[in-house]
Amino acid sequence: MPDTPAPPPVILGDEPGSFPHGVLAERHPAIIRQVRDAFPYGPTVHHALDALLESCTKGVIEPLPADAHDLAHWREWGLDGYVGRSWFDVPWLWSESYFYRRLLDAVGYFGPGVWQGIDPFRPFKLAELDAPETDEELAALDALETRPADERARALLHGSLWGNRADLGFRLSDSGAAARDAVPALVADDSEALWALLPATGDTGTGTGTDTGTDKAPTVCLIADNAGRELIPDLLLAAHLLATGRAGRIVLHVKPYPYYISDATPADVVDALRRLTAAPGAAAEHGRRLWAAMADGTLTVRAHPFSAAPLPFTDLPPDLRAEFGAAALTLVKGDLNYRRLVGDRRWPPTTPFADVTAYFPGPVAALRTLKSDVITGLSARTEAALVAAEEQRWRTGGTHALVQVRP
């Protein structure tokens, strides 16, 4: 048998003009400035933010403080091998993740001090959650309740998929993204395979299906991405899976601390549920039932340290491997999680999705809006059409999406 081709190298940020280089050189400094202006931080924090700005644009990677609570984790994740090197010369996935970890140090998130535990991105998340567009989206739930079950399922799946365009970090570098219409056709659509893995056993309308019992329906893991207007449709999709008996239990994986500006934390889950319960009509009913599902354990939130690790999912720790292996399906949301799922590499776009996810311990589905260069699982015809129409902009513009499944 022929040897399996070696995977392409991991993506770095060292190529001027590339998307990763722009994130490191332009987006990260913009984030520092925005966080600096969002709170009345004192001179100590301002000095630390200035030092981080200098480090990430002109300097080298510096170690964590000796008393950092997660120093052992970061050493396990490769820190000692990258200290002293340029941010642009190490794997892009790693340098992005470490930037956010150092940003939290700079603002005193891990304390002790007055800013301990205060999310530096919270004002942006709440503005997104409280936007008028959120009211419009929640109001649309009333009409959706009258539609046939398969139509509701399709609408909620696509709501979760395209909700990723609310990513706040993406908007910083692409201010026109919000004004563009979503492209209706997906570059890959395995929706039917997804539903086949989770057959419905009933439909209780707006209920979460908590009466189905975890012994009668499978567990679904949902690896969330962003907070705000994306997390709400994720929660509504979870409610639908419970209501229809497609899942007896949902385990929602979020970040253990603020990350990538808009990535969801446990506090963001609570904010989203409160937003739902405070809305009129069907949205409030969904919110109340999801709240009850958390109380009885049919909706569980996990914030595993590995959720904020700078590593691909090939390095899943044993406990997560066991959990995802036992699930009927793991739904992987968003662009960053897609990069972690398939590996942050410049795969040929026609590389089979099933091949690069063969290591994953159980059935997996990716719901992703395209905002970075990494892509797998396209047909040659689809790739050619995209390149002809948009050159390579289709990879990062946020106007294309995919649903990919590996049973």
Q: Which of 195-199, 205-209, 258-262, 317-321 has the lowest mean pLDDT?
A: 205-209
Which H helix or E strand runs over 253? strand 249-253
- 330 in helix, strand or coil? strand
Q: Which of 57-66, 144-153, 226-235, 398-407 has the lowest mean pLDDT?
A: 144-153
pLDDT value of position 165: 53
CA distances from 262 to 52, 155, 310 (A): 20, 24, 17
**Confidence band for 336, pLDDT divided at 50, 70 and 90:** very high
> How far is it, in rounded angstroms, from Cα 219 to Cα 238?
11
pLDDT value of position 62: 96
pLDDT tens by residue, 100-117? 999 999 999 998 999 999
- 5 in helix, strand or coil? coil
329 forms beta bridges with 220
**Confidence band for 3, pLDDT divided at 50, 70 and 90:** low
Is a pLDDT exceeding 60 seen at residue 212? no
CA 332 to chain centre: 8
Higher pLDDT, 185 or 7: 7
Q: How many residues does the chain have?
A: 407
pLDDT value of position 149: 86
Which H helix or E strand runs over 355? helix 353-356
pLDDT value of position 207: 41
pLDDT value of position 146: 87
pLDDT value of position 213: 40
Give the orientation angle of helix 132-144 with respect to helix 282-296, to 10 degrees. Answer: 90
Range 61-77 average pLDDT: 96
CA 255 to chain centre: 9
Is a pLDDT exceeding 50 seen at residue 205? no
SS (H, E, C) 334-365: CHHHHHHHHCCECCCCCCCHHHHCCCCCCCEE
Higher pLDDT, 367 or 205: 367
> How far is it, in rounded angstroms, from Cα 382 to Cα 70?
43
**DSSP letter for each residue of 203-235:** --TTS--GGG-TTTS-EEEEE--B-TTTHHHHH
Query: Is the backbone peptide bond immediately before 112 cis, with ω within 30 degrees of 0?
Result: yes
Q: Which residues have C-beta within 8 Å of that of residue 69, sequence separation ≥ 6?
A: 110
Is a pLDDT exceeding 70 seen at residue 214? no
CA within 13 Å, CB half, 52: 27
pLDDT tens by residue, 145-157? 888 888 999 999 9
- 60 in helix, strand or coil? strand
> How far is it, in rounded angstroms, from Cα 392 to Cα 375?
12
Q: Which residues have C-beta within 8 Å of that of residue 121, sequence separation ≥ 6?
A: 35, 168, 258, 261, 262
**Confidence band for 209, pLDDT divided at 50, 70 and 90:** very low
Sheet of strand 401-406: strand arrangement: 188-189, 401-406, 364-369, 329-333, 219-223, 249-253, 299-302
Q: Position 213: which residue type?
A: G
Alpha helices in 130-184 (DSSP H): 132-144, 149-162, 168-173
pLDDT value of position 133: 86
> How far is it, in rounded angstroms, from Cα 257 to Cα 266?
9
C-alpha dihedral (373, 228, 305, 158), degrees to nearest 10: -50
CA 224 to chain centre: 5
Range 311-329 average pLDDT: 98
pLDDT tens by residue, 272-291? 999 999 999 999 999 999 99
Mean pLDDT of the chain: 90
| Environment class of 405 (CB within 10 Å of its CB; exposed 0-12, middle 13-18, buried 19+) | buried
Q: Which residues have C-beta within 8 Å of that of residue 192, sequence separation ≥ 6?
A: none
pLDDT value of position 322: 98
Q: For residues 343 and 292, is the Cβ–Cβ distance under 8 A? A: no
Q: What percent of the chain clears pLDDT 90, i.e. is strictly above it?
A: 77
Q: Which of 9-23, 65-79, 211-225, 232-246 has the lowest mean pLDDT?
A: 211-225
pLDDT tens by residue, 156-197? 999 999 874 544 444 444 444 444 433 336 899 999 999 999
End-to-end Cα, the chain, rounded Å: 25
pLDDT tens by residue, 368-395? 999 999 999 999 999 999 998 888 889 9
